[in-house]
Structure 1
Amino acid sequence: MLRPLALGLLLVAVATVVVVDCAVLTENGMPILWQQTGGQLTDLPIQNDVLVPNPWHYLHRMSLYRLIIAATDPYMTSMGTNATDSPIWGLTLQLGWELTSGRLADPTGVTTCGTETGDRMCISTESWWGCANYYFSVIPFLSAAQQGFFGDNIPVQMQVPEGVTDYCTTYADCATRFPDLMAKWDAFYQGLKVAAVSEASDVEKKDHILGLYWAAHQGSMASVVACSARKASYSAPEVSFADSWQSSADFIAASNFQSNLEKSVMFMSPLPSRILKEGDRAPHIADLSADENHSLYIFSWMRSMNTILGGTMTRLWRSAMCSIPAREKGRALLEQLLLNPGFSTATFLSIISTTASSC
């Protein structure tokens, strides 16, 4: 309760991947401070019969995820038998990592929001990461409410700090400002209901749901452009990492990666445990682990190579992800690239070129 608050030949090598935790993603096997989040709508503030969460408080924002997962789990049986198989768990870990790595704090230094000496639970409206996450938390929550996943006629109005006007706060407001984005999240939730009564196999249902989920996810990613001005408060290496992080989502999304808790921990553990500063250059950042350095190097390589090739690498990858079996192999390939330092980037390019031409 709240207080007041992822070709065939590469599969042989998958077992060689060794993951060493770097970023702090969980505590007691769950997302950061999960037990302190709200499991019921009534755990969030209500004023005049309107639900008014404060998305600028970490526990409130994480509670949005907890409520979405609980409401959608009955429609996610094709994902698997574990309670943590929903793809939405990946978003909870992302938010927790942003907290522990200091990325939700005020980067301008004007306030102590989110800092160790200030309100640690505060999410700064000036944080690029906090702003980007808004489109992966608030938007999905408002859409879920509109689609009836929390019951009928549940009005929601997000709180916003005084003087801040560039964040939408209601379904109508967000749908007006970002119609394509909201339509994609609505389609995801509507697709869950359709899948629940479909006679398709679980494999087909799972792939379809993940396709809708990643379409919505990429809609949110595209909307993050609204946060661009906030990058000015960060170092060049951190901005480069943020840009590379955004670009990598194209590959993960096209493979219909099942971002459940277990898989997300594996892929996100090598994320940098602190904000990058001037002079940081992977894979030679002394105070970051070998895994963190490797992940930063690979993220940068993927974005740079795709830019050099004029977007060809992304187009080839999307073409290669042309079937359920192909997407399964794609996820294994990403696993090798991101988590196995011994896996050659040249091999990655060779495999996706060959696979794309065979689709």
Structure 2
Amino acid sequence: MLFPTTCVALVLLAAVARAAVVTENGYPIMWEKAVAELKDMPTADGVVTINPWEYSQRMGMYRLLLSSTDQYMRSMGPSTNDSPLWGLPLQLGWKQKSGRLVDPTGASTCGQESADPMCISPKSWWACVNYYLSVIPFLAAVQTGVIGDGVTKITIQPAEGAEDYCTSYTDCSTKHADLMALWETFFQTMKTASESGATDSEKRDQILSTMWAAQQASLQQATTSCSERQQSYSGPEITFAQSWVNAADYVSAAYFLSNLEKSVQFMNPLPSRVLTATDSPPNIPDLTAEENHTLYIFSWMSSINRLLGGTLVRSWKSAMCSDLAREKGRALLDDLVLNPKFAVSGLLSILTEMATNC
């Protein structure tokens, strides 16, 4: 009679062991080891050259971004952990820990835990998408005077074997002018709002609206620029990746408060490894119930929106018409992702009712 109990215990232990890890000592993976000041980045002949294909340096870009913007984020809350930019380094940490920065072609050991864990592969779709959410905002922050002294020249080390990544402000603004402009608008708005006489609520809306507009633009550009890299992944991983991108439509429209605590809460149930061809969500034995639920919800929202010709996303965006409505939207996101008992079938009617009150 002990055999079934032992089996259950082993299954539960495996599920716990595979649970997504998104923090280390309460912060993004290897945050404390990341470069904290621009002067500590590699410099040659007076030019700072950052290697975004080395994990600690890409994470260092985020650490510089967070520390340089803290003074403008007081409307978000009293703590430095209240900044809505925390979601970005946490995403990078999850991707690294879950093996999504590894070379998916198998042609190199880049990113492999047992061989070269600090390497970020330019062939990784996930690393490519993150490039547009790390290098682009970093260069925009430098250009707007948020990072650096306005004199020191900063450039980005090219990726070996990949020529489609921009490597300087001039290069990136030439190739992605609209995208760079949106990130510059965010940083300028952040500075202006922090110094204005508006209420904290008004400042938050200004900052969050421009931040999410820039993040959405980065994702849209990345899905086009990085699309060929998806060919190296399994069908289930591609489906998850696409639904992960689509989920940003809901998060951004609700002005999701992506501070440290809230971001961790929403990232903990993300899949802790790359999905394989044999995985069938939401019934993957070695993933936790929470991870399987997240895969189901992401897939459901993406599928329903596609079947309805985009109606679900349009209804969601229409319903997010005021600060109060967006607060309700954020509560709905909590229910969708964190409450397995939430009746997803009633979501469209809830949104329709909310939209009529706009």
TM-score (norm 2): 0.93
How big is the shift at 1:27?
A: 1.1
State the alpha-carbon separation in 1 of the partners of residues 284 and 59 from structure 2: 31
One-letter code aligned to 1:325 = L
Partner of 1:125: 122
How big is the shift at 1:358?
A: 1.7
Partner of 2:312: 313
How big is the shift at 1:163?
A: 3.5
How big is the shift at 1:243?
A: 0.2
Alignment of 1:149-168 (within 5 A): 149=146, 150-168=148-166
Partner of 1:350: 349
One-letter code aligned to 1:91 = L
Query: Which of 91, 98, 113 lines up with 1:101 in the alignment?
Result: 98
What does the per-residue CA deviation read over 1:199-246, in whole Å, with 9 as the maximum and x for residues that have no partner? 110011011100010000001011111000000000000000000000
Do 2:102 and 2:111's aligned partners in 1 also have CA atoms closer than 8 Å?
yes
State the alpha-carbon separation in 2 of the partners of residues 27 and 72 from structure 1: 22
Do 1:248 and 1:299's aligned partners in 2 also have CA atoms closer than 8 Å?
yes
Partner of 1:304: 303
SS of structure 2 residue aligned to 1:156:
strand
Alignment of 1:5-20 (within 5 A): none
Partner of 2:44: 47
Partner of 1:219: 217
Partner of 2:275: 276
Instruction: List gaps (5 residues or longer) in structure 1.
Output: 1-19
What does the per-residue CA deviation read over 1:133-184, in whole Å, with 9 as the maximum and x for residues that have no partner? 0000000000000001122123211002344211000011001111111010
Alignment of 1:26-37 (within 5 A): 26-37=23-34
Partner of 1:198: 196
Do 1:105 and 1:112's aligned partners in 2 also have CA atoms closer than 8 Å?
yes
One-letter code aligned to 1:39 = A
TM-score (norm 1): 0.93
Alignment of 1:328-343 (within 5 A): 328-343=327-342
State the alpha-carbon separation in 2 of the partners of residues 154 and 346 from structure 1: 55
* Percent identity of paired positions between Structure 1 and Structure 2: 55
Partner of 1:243: 242
What does the per-residue CA deviation read over 1:93-129, in whole Å, with 9 as the maximum and x for residues that have no partner? 1000000000000000000000023210000010000
State the alpha-carbon separation in 2 of the partners of residues 140 and 239 from structure 1: 26
Do 2:236 and 2:275's aligned partners in 1 also have CA atoms closer than 8 Å?
yes
State the alpha-carbon separation in 2 of the partners of residues 212 and 353 from structure 1: 26
One-letter code aligned to 1:158 = I
Alignment root-mean-square deviation, CA: 1.1
Do 1:337 and 1:348's aligned partners in 2 also have CA atoms closer than 8 Å?
no
Q: Are residue 183 (structure 1) and residue 181 (structure 2) matched?
A: yes
One-letter code aligned to 1:352 = L
Do 1:321 and 1:327's aligned partners in 2 also have CA atoms closer than 8 Å?
yes
Structure with the bigger RCO (C-alpha within 8 Å, sep 6+) is: 1
State the alpha-carbon separation in 1 of the partners of residues 114 and 36 from structure 2: 29
SS of structure 2 residue aligned to 1:157:
strand
Instruction: List gaps (5 residues or longer) in structure 2.
Output: 1-15
Do 1:145 and 1:154's aligned partners in 2 also have CA atoms closer than 8 Å?
no
What does the per-residue CA deviation read over 1:289-331, in whole Å, with 9 as the maximum and x for residues that have no partner? 1000000000000000000010011111111000011101100
State the alpha-carbon separation in 2 of the partners of residues 46 and 86 from structure 1: 29
How big is the shift at 1:56?
A: 0.1
Going from structure 1 to structure 2, the CA distance change for 1:162 and 1:337 (only over 3 Å counts) comes to closer
One-letter code aligned to 2:50 = P
User: Greater CA deviation, 119-128 or 162-171?
Assistant: 162-171
How big is the shift at 1:192?
A: 1.0
Aligned residues: 340
The ranges of structure 1 where at least 4 consecutive aligned residues each deviate by more than 6 angstroms after the TM superposition are none
SS of structure 2 residue aligned to 1:212:
helix
State the alpha-carbon separation in 2 of the partners of residues 162 and 114 from structure 1: 14
How big is the shift at 1:22?
A: 2.6
State the alpha-carbon separation in 1 of the partners of residues 243 and 209 from structure 2: 22
SS of structure 2 residue aligned to 1:118:
coil
